[in-house]
Amino acid sequence: MNNIQTLKGFRDILPQEKRARDFVAKSIAKSFSLRGFEPIETPTLEYAELLLGKYGQEADKLVYNFADRAGRQVGLRYDQTVPTARLLGQYYQQELPKFFRRYQIQNVFRADKPQRGRYREFTQCDCDIFGTVSPVADAEIVAAFYAAFADLGINSLVIEINDRQTLMSILKPFASDFVDVFSIIQSIDKLDKVSRGAVKNELVSKGLSSGDAEDCLCEIDNAVMSDQLSKIADICYDLGVPRSALKFNPKLARGLDYYTGLIFEGIIPEYSVGSVGGGGRYDQLIETLSGVAIPAVGFGIGFDRTVEATLQLGLIPEDVLQGSQVLVAVFSEELLAESLQLSNQFRQKNIKTEVYPEVDKLGKQFKLADQKKIRFVAVIGEDEARDNLITIKDLKTGDQKTLAFEEAVTLVKNSRK
Amino acid sequence: MNNIQTLKGFRDILPQEKRARDFVAKSIAKSFSLRGFEPIETPTLEYAELLLGKYGQEADKLVYNFADRAGRQVGLRYDQTVPTARLLGQYYQQELPKFFRRYQIQNVFRADKPQRGRYREFTQCDCDIFGTVSPVADAEIVAAFYAAFADLGINSLVIEINDRQTLMSILKPFASDFVDVFSIIQSIDKLDKVSRGAVKNELVSKGLSSGDAEDCLCEIDNAVMSDQLSKIADICYDLGVPRSALKFNPKLARGLDYYTGLIFEGIIPEYSVGSVGGGGRYDQLIETLSGVAIPAVGFGIGFDRTVEATLQLGLIPEDVLQGSQVLVAVFSEELLAESLQLSNQFRQKNIKTEVYPEVDKLGKQFKLADQKKIRFVAVIGEDEARDNLITIKDLKTGDQKTLAFEEAVTLVKNSRK
């Protein structure tokens, strides 16, 4: 296996990136938990029958499916909505309560063409409320979306909102036997990415007259917030979402067919890679998928993009990104016990610490700290051992001090700020 | 899909269990991080070639493998050691430092016969130090194993230790062309599970004379700690492992072929399901797997058993296991805003809170709290709104009080203790 690498479209996650991802995932999970959302997990493998035919013909080709050793057709998790629909069918109103709120952060698998930053295994982060059509649930969902970013320190998030019903009532008169309304929605959805002219041309190419295409775009420009959407926005404000964070965008369409009411999308202005997530209300989908009629509202967060944005904005503390903060060097075989005890003491003070595992030249030990980007090296030599002190060197500033243990702890802890 | 269920041997993890698992995983990850271990992730899918032929013929049958759409033979992660060996071959001494310490908590897949408590997808939790044969590394590994349990509140862990080399030097004279030494080791490994007589019979059935089998068992009974093992134990004590936690067990064999030095296993005396994990030194395995000579020492923790033990011993705080602590009821449409603002205030105080999402009879709202095991229900009726107070009912004690917000916060927070 000397030259076996990772599969195309798959990746290893090395420590620094993994720490950033864990930090973001933990923060998001906490934001959701505080709002009453409960974590679940579904298996990586499901019956292929569950997965196929649920996402459209094109998507079916992207499902990883195969026959297991017993001949069952099985498939890898493709998204989190379909397995959750299965789970709701199995447990809703029994093990799971009415108005079930769940979040789910797991990997999904798509045999897609790999591109820069797009992998065949990636993390999805979904959050939904099931079992009510109340606008309070819509607003709780928008507020949870806002909080997930705000709690990471991203206070600039703009959430564009729209009502799929308003959009449908505007667009339906332009639909015909030749152009269905979802095809028009898919063109409208591009208005934020390509020029108005390009969208108009696309509508014409789909069969709208030039005049109808123009009228359609004008009507969208002039659309106003529906009563339902205003009500949802007001509840959001009461739930603590700042007014500046919500922005009505009549052009927001969201590509997927299944939305039935509120739709929304989040953008971080300082981070120019487009949407970091979005969602909306989908009152028929769970019934279509599971046979059990359960209205739903929820969203997905683009986990990779959110991690990248959080890193770019410098919102992950240095000491979270780094591994050990202190390397305890070993001065000599005779003083090994002192070094071991010191590392244990640092750990008890909640300081990430490792001990150099061999007796080696001090120069080599400092070099390891450098390679591992460990900021502090602590040494107990003969003098230090006699005086019950520690010599500690800050590799960032070059400062070296000989001091008592408690002072060393203070030094290291203060460096985190 | 109305009656599609989970696949045989696979399971959904519902909220209460998921919260317990997240708590345990987070605690273990923190214990490891404090000791300088760094987290990594490898992909769920690898080239089948990497996985097959690594675990033995029987195990090969348990690997989930298939051809992907491009015709590549791929397989699902079967353990974490083989992918890590691949990763070390790719990155060691470049992106990864010398003396790399990693931990990894991911799911693995085995097409095994499902049994009670044994699933085809389950979580492994591995921790290793690569690149040194020093006994300090062995002791750091044992100390990390101890800390993972102690930090969960399991202070009673007993770690049985032995030296595979001692065992080999005792057993080799009894091996022959007909009985290889690993076959004898596999019998010896059963000494803690079945009777001495049964093991003796097994050795005889494998080809040892009755006298040799008896001699072999006596020699093991009388074995003493090797110098290397004593040294490792001493370093463990310096690293904070209590003397009572380490127990020399000359009968401890560990079934796997690849151990070359220290071997150990952890048992929680109050929890009678046997070993909760174990490991040892394996200085040749990484070279066999990856072609790169890297000595290694590490362990795996049985995650499911550890979660179960932690739950059984009552070590997971009630408020971690539970979802929302407060349900904010909605008294009337007119007082909805007050309820929304109150739920936002509770959340800002770090109290898991949900708001009843509809305007409904109070009785129904209390019923939901009961179904969801939410302990407190907060109500703002007309009087409370006028006086800027909250009525809060403790469903556990039946107590109901009308008080100011800050007092309500104190009430809820104190209930956690």
Q: How far apart are CA B315 and CA B319, in angstroms?
A: 12
Nearest to A218 by CA among A255, A164, A174: A174
Question: Is residue A342 within a helix (H) or strand (E), and if so which, with residue range?
Answer: helix A336-348
Please name the amino acid found at residue B57: Q
**Tokens 């004008």, residue located:** A218
How much is the mean pLDDT over chain B? 94
Which one of A124, A355, A366 would you mutate to disrupt binding with B, by most B Cβ within 10 Å of its Cβ?
Answer: A355
Q: Is the pLDDT of residue B2 over 60?
A: no
The three-class DSSP label of residue A302 is strand
Give the pLDDT of residue A2. 53
Helices A303-312, A15-34: axis angle to 10 degrees equals: 110
Instruction: Residue B85: list chain A partners with CB under 8 A.
Output: 1
Give the pLDDT of residue B142. 98
* Whether the Cβ atoms of residue A12 and residue B50 lie closer than 8 Å to each other: no
Q: Is the pLDDT of residue B53 over 90?
A: no
The C-alpha of A134 sits at a distance from chain B's nearest C-alpha, in angstroms, of 6
> For chain A, percent helix, then strand, then coil, each to nearest 5?
40, 20, 35
The three-class DSSP label of residue A63 is coil
Which residues 109-138 in chain B show a CB within 8 A of chain A?
Answer: 109, 111, 120-121, 129, 132, 134, 136-137
**Tokens 């064999």, residue located:** B253
Q: What is the DSSP letter of B173?
A: G
Which residues 23-52 in chain B show a CB within 8 A of chain A?
Answer: 26, 29, 33-36, 38-47, 49-50
Tokens matching residue B28:
């273990």
Which residues 327-386 in chain A show a CB within 8 A of chain B?
Answer: 330, 336-337, 340-341, 343-344, 347-348, 350-358, 368, 371-372
Burial of B5 (0-12, 13-18, 19+ CB in 10 A): middle
Per-residue model confidence as pLDDT tens digits over B88-101: 988 887 778 889 99
**Which among B101, B121, B368 is the nearest to A97, CB-wise?**
B368
* Whether the Cβ atoms of residue B27 and residue B91 lie closer than 8 Å to each other: no
> Cα dist. A30→A147, B141, B295, B322, B346 in Å?
10, 31, 39, 14, 14
Instruction: Residue A285: list chain B partners with CB under 8 A.
Output: none
**Tokens 């150990």, residue located:** B264
**Which among A36, A86, A348 is the nearest to B324, CB-wise?**
A36
Question: What does the pLDDT average to over B134-146?
Answer: 98
Tokens matching residue A215:
């009228």
Please, how many CA atoms are within 13 Å of residue B322, restricted to the half-sphere of its CB?
21
Q: Is the pLDDT of residue B28 over 60?
A: yes
Q: How far apart are CA A12 and CA A121, in angstroms?
A: 11
Q: How far apart are CA A16 and CA B92, in angstroms?
A: 15
Tokens matching residue B29:
């990850």
The three-class DSSP label of residue A335 is helix
- Longest Cα separation, chain A: 92
Nearest to A25 by CA among B41, B373, B119: B41
Cβ pairs bridging A and B (under 8 Å): 272
Does residue B252 sit at the A interface (CB-CB below 8 Å)? no
**Tokens 């310490």, residue located:** B101
Please name the amino acid found at residue B244: S
Within 8 A by CB and 6+ apart from A51, the residues are A63, A65, A75, A78, A82
Does residue A4 sit at the B interface (CB-CB below 8 Å)? yes
**Which among B132, B348, B368 is the nearest to A357, CB-wise?**
B132
The C-alpha of A232 sits at a distance from chain B's nearest C-alpha, in angstroms, of 12
pLDDT band at B257 (very low <50, low <70, confident <90, very high): confident
Nearest to B126 by CA among B301, B289, B286, B306: B301
Q: How far apart are CA A20 and CA A16, in angstroms?
A: 6
Tokens matching residue B30:
């923190």
* Whether the Cβ atoms of residue B106 and residue B42 lie closer than 8 Å to each other: yes
> Cα dist. A40→A125, B125, B135, B162 in Å?
11, 20, 42, 40
The C-alpha of A166 sits at a distance from chain B's nearest C-alpha, in angstroms, of 23
Instruction: Residue B10: list chain A partners with CB under 8 A.
Output: 43-46
The C-alpha of A86 sits at a distance from chain B's nearest C-alpha, in angstroms, of 7
The angle formed by the CA atoms of residues B196, B166 and B56, to the nearest 5 degrees, is 75
The angle formed by the CA atoms of residues A149, A154 and A159, to the nearest 5 degrees, is 60
Question: Is residue B338 within a helix (H) or strand (E), and if so which, with residue range?
Answer: helix B336-348
pLDDT, averaged in runs of 10, over chain A (417 residues): 82 96 98 98 96 85 93 95 92 84 97 87 97 97 98 97 94 89 89 91 92 93 95 98 97 88 95 89 92 94 95 93 96 97 97 96 96 96 97 97 97 88
Nearest to B98 by CA among B29, B36, B175, B48: B36
Give the pLDDT of residue A273. 77
Strands B262-267 and B158-163: antiparallel
The angle formed by the CA atoms of residues B21, B106 and B114, to the nearest 5 degrees, is 80
* Whether the Cβ atoms of residue A365 and residue B99 lie closer than 8 Å to each other: no
**Which among B95, B107, B330 is the nearest to A44, CB-wise?**
B107
Q: What is the DSSP letter of B223?
A: -
Please name the amino acid found at residue A210: S
Percent of chain B with pLDDT over 90: 83
